[in-house]
Amino acid sequence: MTWVGNFYRSAIGKKAVMAVTGVILFGWIFLHMVGNLKLYLGPEHLNEYAHWLQTLGSPAVPNKGMLWISRIVLLVCVVFHIHSAVALTIVNRKARPVGYRDRDYLAATYAARTMRWGGVIILLFVIYHLLHLTTGQAHRDFIENDPYHNVVSGFQVWWVAAFYIIANLALGFHLFHGLWSMFNSLGLTHARFNPWRRNFATAFAIIITAANISFPLAVLTGIVR
């Protein structure tokens, strides 16, 4: 299996790994967002969904089995995603040790230029998010197995809601560039479909961000209580 190491050693290999892990994370985030929409259907639906997640695959696997498998996959993805991001950033800094006095961007979007800091915000957010809504240490009024309650009471604190909104905007930017860049990293170019890649990235970045932001907003405005 030396070729795996060999492949990952190259920058293009790292980008491919980044793209694949990024897509997995994106897929998860998408499903996560869809699931969270149940918030609007009321407590039973959301809690039922959470329960379903925990018992998924049962009895073939023990309770929470699938959840743990997916958590491990996600964790591995996060590790590789971050490792390659950091490694490539170091390579790139070295490749341009001296900058320009005057530097103008012609094509690079704001999103493209903030991938690294955006990523860091997302990481911090993910950690906070786990402590907040999964394990509860960062939650004042955490009730095990009642996600609906945890979400609503959590977002009623304005600065928590604000942090969620900011982090999800960062996520939106990250996806806007990442989902587009991914096609190139994986070599998916095709004259007929190329224009769709930008549209795809834009659409999903907007959908995910809008939906995710809507949750804290809905709580703050009292639509969901």
Size, binding site for ligand HEM by CB under 6 A: 25
Rounded Cα distance between 107 and 3, Å, is 35
Q: Closest Cα to residue 206, out of 164, 166, 162, 175?
A: 175
CB of 17 to other proteins, least distance (A): 11
Of 2, 144, 159, 187, the one binding other proteins (CB under 8 A) is 187
- Among 35-43, 61-69, 117-125, 175-183, which window interacts with other proteins (CB under 8 A)? 175-183
Residue 161 near residue 220, CB atoms below 8 Å: yes
Q: Choose the contact partner of 104 out of other proteins, ligand HEM, none; CB within 5 to 8 A by kind.
A: other proteins
For residue 143, report the phi and psi dihedrals to the nearest 5 degrees. -120, 115
Question: Maximum distance among all alpha carbons in the chain?
Answer: 64
Cβ within 8 Å of residue 86, ≥6 positions away: none
* 26 counts as binding ligand HEM under rule CB under 6 A: yes
Q: Which is nearer to ligand HEM, 46 or 182 (CB)?
A: 182
Residues 186-215 that bind ligand HEM (CB under 6 A): none
Residue 35 near residue 49, CB atoms below 8 Å: yes
DSSP one-letter code for 144: T
Q: Closest Cα to residue 87, out of 18, 19, 179?
A: 18
Interacting residues toward other proteins by CB under 8 A: 3, 6-7, 10-16, 88, 91-92, 94-108, 112-113, 115, 177, 180-181, 183-189, 194
Binding site for ligand HEM (CB under 6 A): 15, 18-19, 22-23, 25-26, 29, 81-82, 85, 112, 115-116, 119-120, 122-123, 174, 177-179, 181-182, 185
